[in-house]
Structure 1
């Protein structure tokens, strides 16, 4: 397709379509111009941060790994129409997603690697880049959602091509309509004229996804949890597990300065804030009993080290062995089994730790 343009109602010119010569060129263009993936057509005003290129997994490198402000994860695969393996691109991109989910159940390692890529491309850590890109001061809720999405395998897949054939479009529509997966395709029309470039992205799959979301119960919408819904979800577990989770939860409600509920699609999360120690939550409790220690949310190195040393001394059932400079990107998980077996020790330790800062506030 050609574009005809003119200036001052005269001298009309024809702008003929150009092509990306290599998939590397398309990847580079995506890194510099993430707007060519129009996720704002999926969710109004959404923007995409492409945080890494060639992000390695056990199934091979992901061409581009992206995030939006809400903590949704995007696995993006670029393909030229002339590439003979374009027929398997959906299987390929989902294989990458499966590898990402399977090998990063502990989100701490995932954030470590994001920091590495972020320093490589942006000369700052991932949290700094995320906040500056989206113009926010606090990424706690978004990072909680990233952790939840990673652990739940809730990943959005995007195929970026210079040309899509009808069969691929039909396959994407079929998968979106008959599964829980979110798969989108973007076809790029690319034009060049002197020093100017024009890219027209066309998104496929979003309308089907919206129709499915509005009429089916099993597609989870991200929403705010609260005390009632948290307790209801915990109530689905065996009684002994409920007892452990609610004991920690009730302690947090009674002792914290503020309770923040997460917005995960499948699991409720609670993030208690103790302002005497830190403005953000230093631990997260999940409705299935999992916990995480959020060293990365703590605002100074000294306080991160202080917390780690205190937990190592008091917990007894697990140790955190990080260097001081590593703690900025660490969110280690306490698995459900350890929480259920040691919930009273966890409460006693948290109570002892937070009491120190309550005393300082009173003084």
Structure 2
């Protein structure tokens, strides 16, 4: 049976070259980079080459990039560390209602520590309310955290405009952006967008699981929630994941050289899906080319997900990090979608090697199964 993986926003298949680099480095660069002997120094040198290469992709300097275990840890270190360090300057922090759970849970924790948490609204396309942001930033605001690309709908936030507004309203206010879904999909420039903290993850771009990075603008201090041996200049303690980092570097090299463009394929897919009738498109026009979120009204997401799975098609009903929670539909709810639209949403997220033949197979299955499921579920 044909196998088509359309859940690349949850995680990606590692590139063969990445697997080779990881396996080879586990055999040859096994020493701890913190060790003072020759083997340790060899590993450290390789890590720093990777650090410089990845930093360049966001127009950052080598000494501004810190390796972590992934996007969630990067978000935790940035948000908790920045807010706690600057609490004496103010206790107001701002985010949106559609952030990844790793951001929202940090805000929830900080609210218990006495921080005033403001959650910005989004419009029906999932784009943050810029005027509300302008009105909310004041002298007591120490941190704003807004994602670059939404993980469920692919909506692109106006990051450059947001950075400009933050620094105009309060030059001392710090700006964090979760770029896990944006990295390798759209151009990100930390200088141009006035970003102070930026989170990325390897497994979203064909790299290994368990490795990510956090950009911290030079001269900005935080109270890291990570305690231990003081690796990564005290920002993230724990033995450095050499093989994972080198796999991350290789994934970046491949991703940024491929320059995959799914725009035409996405438009074709969407136009064909709309022929099914009673379809609600949740991804806005201003969204990344690899994510399409659609509600097949009248068919429960979970039911359709498993029907597609039986045909060798793998999709998602939302964020993989919140799919087992009751509030899993909070993004579409914030966008004003009705309950029946939230309950019937499917996220298709394309990989770099998706073909028109693959899309046609998925469309054929949808055309056959959706009418049948709607009759059954009336």
What's the TM-score once normalised by structure 1's chain length? Answer: 0.32
Asked which structure has the greater RCO (Cα within 8 Å, sep 6+), the reply is: 2
TM-score of the pair, normalised by structure 2:
0.31
The structure whose Rg is larger is 1
| Higher share of residues assigned helix | 1
Higher strand share: 1
